[in-house]
Amino acid sequence: MRRDVFQAIADPTRRAILSLIALQAMTPNALAEHFDSSRQAVSKHIQILSECKLIKQKQDGREIHYQLNLKKMKEIADWLEPFRKMWEDRFNQLDTVLEQLKTQKP
């Protein structure tokens, strides 16, 4: 089954995992320590993120370290960029309207 990147990042635990490994590569056990769920549940989240190519693994002796796949994250950021600009434009328009309303009050 092919997983969708946006479904993967919709889950708060998976977003938390991405945030953690954005700071540094981590082993599955190190990641699991940050959550109240079981090690197996965290492994399932890691598997989904891996299938979506949001994270990649690096073998270091007997340990596996997961790290962010910056190329895939950039693809997501690039896709979201037009929406960010649209939101900023709308907020700027709202700021303008609010300023106009402030100056109209007696």
Share of the chain above pLDDT 90, in %: 83
Same domain, 48 and 88: no
- Contact call for residues 56 and 67 (beta carbons, < 8 A): yes
> pLDDT category, 3, cuts 50, 70, 90?
confident
Q: Give the sign of the dihedral formed by CA 60, CA 62, CA 64, CA 65.
A: negative
pTM confidence score: 0.78
* pLDDT 10s digits, 74-95: 989 999 999 999 999 999 999 9
1 pLDDT above the threshold of 70:
no
Same domain, 21 and 54: yes
51 pLDDT above the threshold of 90:
yes
Residue 58: CATH number of its domain: 1.10.10.10
Say what the pLDDT of residue 63 is.
94
Residue bearing tokens 């100056």: 103
> Which domain covers residue 24, as residue numbers?
1-68
3-state DSSP helix/strand/coil % of the chain, to nearest 5: 65, 10, 20
Say what the pLDDT of residue 8 is.
92
Helix (H, G, I), strand (E, B) or coil at 85: helix
> pLDDT category, 56, cuts 50, 70, 90?
very high
Same domain, 64 and 75: no
Same domain, 57 and 78: no
* Alpha-carbon gap, residue 51 to 105, rounded angstroms: 57
